[in-house]
Copies of this chain bind each other. A is one copy, B any other.
Amino acid sequence: MQRKTRQREAILQTIREAEGALTPRAVLTRAQAICPALGIATVYRSLKALVNEKHVVPVNVAGVTHYDYAGLKHHHHFVCRVCGLVFDLAECLPQVEKLAPPSFVVEAHEITLHGLCGACVGEARH
């Protein structure tokens, strides 16, 4: 990736402005609002490049690879059971590493919450 293209700009913008991590397919759908002819192959190619360049980070949520904007501090995720969206959460918890047995070395961790997002809670009331 050496050239600046419309599709790649659209992809990065889409991820930057998302409420959380997106699947490649979600990136495709959303970025097509900016660049209608965008193809799925380009999404995969660009995501790979963007990961290399550290502009986005891959996150595995519920068995599917999602991509999150890299300019965020350490955070965790919330998956809505109804709409399936993945939201970035603001904080972390102290003591997380204490969960492992003393002989283990903890290098990273992730916390994923599941439930209903604000919008879907609202829907449920109707």
> Chain A at the B interface: mostly helix, strand, loop or mixed?
mixed
The 3 closest A-B pairs by CB, nearest first: A103-B118, A107-B115, A105-B116
**A76 at interface (Cβ–Cβ under 8 A)?**
yes
Q: Are A100's CB and B115's CB within 8 A?
A: yes
Q: Please, could you name 15 A-B residue pairs with CB atoms under 8 Å apart, sorted by A?
A: A63-B63, A63-B64, A76-B99, A78-B99, A78-B106, A92-B99, A93-B99, A99-B111, A100-B113, A104-B116, A105-B115, A106-B114, A108-B114, A109-B114, A110-B114
How many residues of A are counted as interface, with CB atoms below 8 angstroms from the partner's CB atoms? Answer: 37
Q: Are B89's CB and A107's CB within 8 A?
A: no
Bound form: Cα–Cα A78–B100 in Å: 7
Interface, chain A (partner B; CB < 8 A): 60, 62-65, 76, 78, 81, 87, 89-93, 95-97, 99-101, 103-118, 121
